[in-house]
Structure 1
Amino acid sequence: MADPALRAVRGEIVHFLADPAERGPAATEHFPDGLLILRDGRVAECGPAADLLPRLPAGTPVEDRSGRLIMPGFVDTHIHYAQTDVIASHGEQLLAWLEKYTFPAEGRFADPVHAAEVAGFFCDELLRNGTTTAMVFATVHPASVDALFEAAQARRMRLIAGKVLMDRHCPDFLRDTAESGYRESRALIERWHGRDRLLYAVTPRFAPTSTPEQMQAAGRLFAEHPGVYLQSHVAENRGEVDWVARLYPHARSYLDVYERYGQLGPRSVYAHCIWLDDADRARMAATGSAMSFCPTSNLFLGSGLFDLARADALGVRVGLGTDVGGGTSFSMLATLNEAYKVLQMNGQNLPAERAFYLATLGGARSLWLDDRIGSFAAGREADFIVIDPAATPLLARRVAQAETLAERLFVLMMLGDDRCITETWIMGERAAARGATRGEPHP
C-alpha cells in the first residue's frame, strides 16, 4: 500500500557530507544511479536505486531523472534584492557605485507596490537559477522587508533578510535614525523571525553609514533576540577601509569596529572580507562569524581578490554570494566560474568538489543551517535541483569526453549557467521547471 506522504526522485545524485578540503574523497557522496526518497517535504533516505527501490511501497511515485544530476539547492549567502534593476550598470568602484546606482534604486522601495513587484521577480529568479536559500539585503524601508518575506513565504523558500540600518553618509530619502532603525527592526523581528522558513537579519549596511549610536543599537538587537542573524559588509575596497579608519580611529581594524559593537558571533555574516589580516580572520573563526565570498562583484567593482587559503588556515566559515547587483549573475554556476578565476589570480586552486560544497553544504554551514539544509542527510528539508549536464551543445560535447565526476563537475561550473537548472524543488515539491519531465508510480 502506497504511503501518500512518500515519493522519490531517481537520477545521478551528488551531495557532501563534509568539506572536501578537510575530508578528501570521503566528503563526497555520489550515486551514479541514485534514489532520493522524500516524506512530507524532507529527505527520508538517499542511496543507490538498486538498494532502495525494492524497499519502496508499491505505488510510490518515482520521478525519473535519468541522465540528470540531482544536488541540494544552492545557498547564496549575500545578495541585494533591491539592486536587481541595476545589475550590469557600467563603471565605478564601490563608493561611487553606491552613489550613482544603488542609492537611487533603493529609494524606489519606499513604494510598497514597486517593492512587491521586484520581490516576486527576485524570488522567481533565484529559483530559476537553482538557489533555494538566500541571505538578502532589503532597503531602509520596513515595507521592503515585508514585501520580500511575503514573496518568499508564498514560494515556501528559506530566506534570511533584514531592513538596512543607515543613519549617515547617505541620501536623506534613505536615512533612518539609531532610534527609528532599532524600533522598526524590532517590529520586523517580531513579525517575521521564525515564521515558516523565514529568518531575520539585523542589517547595518556597513560601518561608514551608521553612527556609533546606530552601531550600538544594531549590536543590542543582535544580543536581545537569540537566533536572529546579522549581516553587513567588511573590507571590500581599499578606499572604504581607509574611510572606516578615519571614522573609527580607535578601532584596531575595520572588523574590530563590528566587534566593539557586539556584532560578531554565530549567525553573523560579512560580505567580501578581502582586505583583512590574520588577526581579523582569527577573530571571525573564534566567534563563529562567517565570510561571504562574492567573486563576480569583487571583479566587477575592481575591489580585490579573496584569500580562501588564509580563511581555511584560520578556520573561518565561508559561503558564496552572488552580491547582485554589484555581482553580475544570479547563477551560482557562473559565480563558481569566477571564484575559480579569482583564486587562480591569487595563486590558489578551487577543485570542483570543493566549489560545489561551498555552494551547498558550505553555505549552509556558514549560516549555521547545516542541520536543516545543504545535504541529503535524513531529516533535511528537501530543497534540491535537477541539473542537465548537456544543456548546451558545448556542454554536451565537453561532458561526453569527461572521465571522472570531478571533471564533469568542473566542466559544469566553467561552462554552465541558468540553462542547466531544469528543475528546482522546495520542501519536496517542484517550484520551478524548464522543459518536459517524466514521472511514474513505482510498481
Structure 2
Amino acid sequence: MSAALYRARVFDAPTGPVGEAALRASDDVGLLVRDGIITRRGPWAEVSREPGSRDAVVHDLRDGILLPGFVDTHVHFPQVRAIGGLGRPLLEWLDTCALPEEARMADRAYASAVAQELVHGLASAGTTSALVFGAHFSDAMDVFFETAAGSGLRITAGLVVGDRGLRDDLHTDPATAYAEGLALAQRWHGRGRLRYAVTPRFSLATSDEMLASSAGLLSDVDGAWFTTHINENTREVATVARLFPDARDYLDTYDRHGLITERSVLAHDVQPTDGELARLAASGASVAHCPTSNASLGSGLFPMRRHVEAGVHVALGSDVGGGTGFSLLKEGLQAYFAQQLLGDAGLPLTSADLLHLATTAGARALGLAEVVGHLSEGMAYDAVLLRPPAGSTLETVLRHANDAEDALAKLFVLGTPADVDRVWVAGEDMNDTRLTSTTPKVPLTTLH
C-alpha cells in the first residue's frame, strides 16, 4: 500500500451554501494519503508522529497554498481554439467562431490534437474534475475519451446532438444520435474516471423528437449525466419560445421529456423565470454559472441571489471557448464582480464562497461530493498547489495578507495558471504521470 504524507498550508471550504460558505484554513496540516485517499488529517505535530505515518514518503509543501482540485461544470471540448472571439453576442458568436471550429472535429487527427490541448489546459489550471461538452462527431468523441482516459482526470462527457438550426454538417437524426451515444457509453462510461453525459446542444437546435431520443439514452445508460444550455441570451430564449409554442418556458422543453433530475447540469440560466427556478430546485438539478462567458458575450449578469434563495444548486464553469480561459480562479473573480455590479439584487460573496463554488459545489453538481471537493479524511487526494514565483505581485501580497480569508481573496484576484505548481488526482502527481494517452507527458511547468 503506497503512502505519502503531505505537510502544507491548506485551505478548503467544505460547507455551504454559497453566500454562507465557511473557510477551513490551517497553516501546518498533515495529510496522510494511502492509495490516493486521505486517511488522516490533523495538525502536523500529531499526524507526523502517528505509527501509520512512519512508512510514508514526506512532501513539504509549506512554501505554497494547497487547495482541493478545481471542478469545472461546463467546458467545451471543440472550442479550445475559439477562445478570445470578442465583440459578438451568443448566436452570432456561435455562427462565426464556435460552429466552424466544431465542424473541424470531423477530422480525427484535428480532434485528437484539440483533445490533448483541452486536458493540458484543464490540468495546468488546477482543474481535476470536469463536465465536458463534447463534439458532434462520434469519432471525435471516441478519440476524446481515449485522451481523457490517459490523462487521469475525472471527466464526464458525451456526444453533442442537434437536428436543426446549426450548420448542416453538424446535424444528425434522433435514431443515429441514440445509437452513436449508446455505443460511446458502452465503450467509455464507467471506465476508469470517465462517465457519459447525454448532451443535446440546446433546445434551439433540437426538436422534440431529438429530446425524446436523449431521454431514451439517459434512461438506458445507468448512471449517465445530462447537460445542456438554458436561458443564456434573450434572443435565444425568444427563439426557443417560438420553436416550442406549447412549452411553459425554456426549462419545460427539457422537463417534459424527463431530462431534469438531480443528475442534470444546465449551463448559464442568466434569464430564468421564478417558475423555472422553483422546478430546478425541486428536481435537485444544478446550474453551471459561467461568468466570464456571460460578460464576454454580453449575455447578462447572473442572478445568483434568486437561484440561491429559490434553493437551486449553483457551481462554476469556464465555458471555454465563450469563456476566457480554463482558470476557475478567474471565473470566481468574475462571479464576484457580477454580484457586486448587481447591487442589492446581487449576492455578496466572500473568498470562501468563491472557493466553495470552484470545488465543493462543483463536486456536488457532478455527483462527486463523497469523492472530491475538499481535503477531508475519506476523500480522494485531488489537490492543487499554488506557489507563485518569488518576487511576483501575488507572492508579495500573500506575504502581507491579514489572514487566511484575505490570502484566499488575493489568490482569486491575482492567481493564474502560471501560479499552479503541482496538481494531483487520486494521489497521482500530474507532473510525474502522463496527461494524455497518445503523447508523452509534458511537465506542467512547461505549460505556463
TM over 0.5: yes
Where do residues 83-98 of structure 1 align in structure 2 (5 Å cutoff)?
83-98=79-94
AA at the equivalent of 1:241: V
Distance 1:23 1:234, change over 3 A: closer
1:43 maps to amino acid:
I
Unaligned runs of 5+ residues in structure 1 are: 437-443
What is aligned with 1:293?
289
C-alpha separation between the residues in 2 aligned to 1:430 and 1:365?
Answer: 24
Name 1:36's counterpart in structure 2. 31
Secondary structure of 1:335's aligned partner? helix
Tell me which residue corresponds to 2:357.
358
Query: What is the alpha-carbon distance in structure 1 between the residues aligned to residue 276 and residue 445 of structure 2?
Result: 47
Match of 1:275 among 254, 268, 271: 271
Distance 1:22 1:394, change over 3 A: closer
- Tell me the secondary structure at the aligned position of residue 337 of structure 1: helix
Q: SS of the residue aligned with 1:328?
A: coil
Question: Could you tell me how far apart the structure 1 residues matched to 2:389 and 2:113 are?
Answer: 33
Q: How has the CA–CA distance of structure 1 residues 291 and 128 changed in structure 2, closer, same or farther, with 3 Å as cutoff? A: same
Given that 1:20 and 1:28 are in contact with CA atoms closer than 8 Å, whether structure 2 keeps it comes out as no
Give 3-state SS (helix, strand or coil) of 1:54's partner.
coil
Deviation sequence 1:303-356 (CA, Å, 0-9, x none): 001111111111111110000000011111111111111111112321000100
State yes or no: 1:431 paired with 2:427. no
Contact 2:19 2:353 in 1 (8 A): no
What does 1:42-57 align with in structure 2 at a 5 Å threshold?
A: 42-55=37-50, 56-57=52-53
Question: Which amino acid in structure 2 is aligned with residue 321 of structure 1?
Answer: G
Report the counterpart of residue 324 of structure 2 in structure 1: 328
Q: Does 1:14 align with 2:11?
A: yes
Amino acid of the structure 1 residue aligned with 2:368:
L
AA aligned to 1:426 is V
C-alpha RMSD of the superposition: 1.6
Contact preservation (8 Å) 1:389, 1:412 = no
CA contact (8 A) 1:20 1:353 kept: no
Provide the rounded CA distance (Å) in 1 between the counterparts of 2:144 and 2:273.
Answer: 35
Q: Which runs of 5+ in 2 are unaligned?
A: 432-442
Alignment of 1:204-353 (within 5 A): 204-347=200-343, 348=346, 349-353=348-352
Contact 1:87 1:328 in 2 (8 A): yes
CA contact (8 A) 1:387 1:420 kept: yes
Could you tell me the TM-score, scaled by structure 2's length?
0.93
How far apart in 1 are the matches of 2:378 and 2:55?
23
Q: State the alpha-carbon separation in 2 of the partners of residues 152 and 184 from structure 1.
A: 19
In structure 2, give the amino acid aligned to 1:318. V
1:421 alignment partner in structure 2: 420
C-alpha displacement of 1:376: 1.8
Letter in 2 for 1:53: S
Identity of aligned residues (%): 37
User: In the alignment, is the contact (CA less than 8 A) between 1:391 and 1:419 conserved in 2?
Assistant: no
> 3-state SS of the aligned residue for 2:67?
strand
What residue in structure 1 maps to residue 440 of structure 2? none
Supply the distance in 2 between the matched residues of 1:174 and 1:49 (Cα, whole angstroms).
Answer: 55
How much does 1:23 deviate?
A: 5.8
User: What letter corresponds to residue 45 of structure 1 in structure 2?
Assistant: R
The DSSP-based 3-state class of the residue aligned with 2:199 is strand
Segments of 4+ moved more than 6 angstroms = none
